[in-house]
Amino acid sequence: MPIKIQNDLPARSILEQEKIFIMDETRALSQDIRSLQILILNLMPIKEDTEVQLLRALSNTPLQMDITLMHMSSHTSKNTSSMHLNKFYITFDEVKNRKFDGMIITGAPVEMVPYEEVDYWPELVEIMEWTKTHVTSTVHICWGSQAGLYYHYGINKVLLPRKISGVYKHHLLTRDMPLTRGYDDFFKVPHSRNTTVPLEEIEKNPDLILLAKSYEAGAYLIQNRSGSQIFVTGHPEYDRMTLDKEYRRDMKAGLNPMIPENYYPDNDPEQQPKLTWRLHANTLYTNWLNYYVYQVTPYDLKSEEKEHNEK
């Protein structure tokens, strides 16, 4: 699938090396086709890594997408240069009058902080409310899923006895929803978090459907009845070495982290981890784009925007 991105986005060279079809702005101008408009709110500290991971995950359908990257105007990033943000990212004020076919809200390293104490929480609340009327379907990842479940459904996170870090086996609970078409009975997904959302709170909410869970990592894949909101508590987009980088970062910081579970062969951090979750990640995002975005989004977003702005 061609992903349209800015000509000189650093992620481009990495994805091209992986033979992923990237279409730059110049070539896209010659295409007489209505691209899906996908907005990514990147809350992760090292934004370049997340860009590569998400663009790779979105690259496995024949649908053409126009990607817009967004960051929070109410937060100063410490790990991504202002030059990169100014060149490749926009803020909410620049897009709040537009409509999008799909949106992704990433995780963020603020899970130990109460939601209302996160410095950009008021802005994120405004954005999550805006998605109800301006986005066909929104995927929330990791902390983003916890924040979304809290804001939209009042389900608060709870602190875990110890951090969940590793690659865990997940059980498919239903094949009745398009999001889980083609799934195996069991599949693996990386997790890296200190908090979780109570399984029983999700199961008793009539507006939510629990699609998959892990006995070790808890609730994993959740959607609302319409499919306009999807919550993914893990990190299917992670690279092979992402958990390794996190583990070594925490070791260097003197945090004495546990070795990520089910990750290194023989539980040996000196061995290269096996990549066992890419197929699931590809299927998840392909199903989302096809069944929850492409097949239900309005063809003419411009007329939708005009009609909404005139009200």
Catalytic positions, written as ranges? 142, 235, 237
**Closest to 148 (Cα-Cα) out of 128, 134, 133:** 128
Which residues are registered as beta bridge partners of 37?
A: 66
What is the number of residues in the chain? 311
Round to whole Å and give the CA distance between 158 and 205: 17
Given its phi and psi angles, is residue 154 left (phi above 0), alpha (psi -120 to 50 degrees) or beta?
Answer: left
Backbone angles phi, psi at 162, to 5 degrees: -150, 160
Round to whole Å and give the CA distance between 182 and 185: 10
**Closest to 244 (Cα-Cα) out of 274, 222, 266, 279:** 274
**Closest to 302 (Cα-Cα) out of 70, 35, 31:** 35
255-289: b or e for each residue (b if 16 or more CB lie within 10 Å)?
eebeebbebbeeeeeeeebeebbbbbbbbbbbbbb
- Residue 107's Cβ-count burial label (10 Å; 0-12, 13-18, 19+) is buried
Round to whole Å and give the CA distance between 234 and 188: 10
Contact 244, 208 (CB under 8 A): no
Backbone angles phi, psi at 66, to 5 degrees: -110, 115
DSSP track, 20-56 = --EEEHHHHTT--S--EEEEEE--SSSHHHHHHHHHH
